[in-house]
Amino acid sequence: MHVANIALLCHLLVEVPASLSFLLAAPKQLREPNPSPEAVLVCQSYGGLLLSTNVLCFLFLYSRGSSNADGAKSLVAASLAVYHVFPIWRAWARIRRQGGLGRGWAQQAEVVGGPYVHFVVHVLLLLSLSWAGLHGSS
């Protein structure tokens, strides 16, 4: 098994639920009682972007027998690592805005675990995908 397969599978396990949440429950992501239609569309577009990364990962996971595919898997893993910087930044901003540990935990945990869970999960994915991108072709 190619080393990038594990990182790509981890990306799928985390980002499939996230993409569905942004696509199907965009207003909850915005945390506003009546979000603007434009904001909902931006969230849904983001969900579509996440879904497209999931499709790409799925296709790479099921491409067998090609050494070119193995090299491409490493490149995809590295590029997906870059993406995970942004959810880390968003989670960090949400943690700082709510004043650190303890404040607003129940309210923040409503959507797929809240900012603390998002921060940890995306840091782990960033590390996993970066490692696979840097060492996967060796």
Domain ranges of the chain: 3-135
Contact 114, 108 (CB under 8 A): yes
Rounded CA separation 78/132 (Å)? 7
Q: What is the pLDDT of residues 78-102, one digit of tens each?
A: 888 888 888 888 888 888 887 655 5
Closest by CA position to 84, among listed 129, 128, 131, 126: 126
For residue 134, what pLDDT band results from cuts at 50, 70 and 90?
A: confident
The closest alpha carbon to 48, from 20, 89, 70, 74, belongs to 20
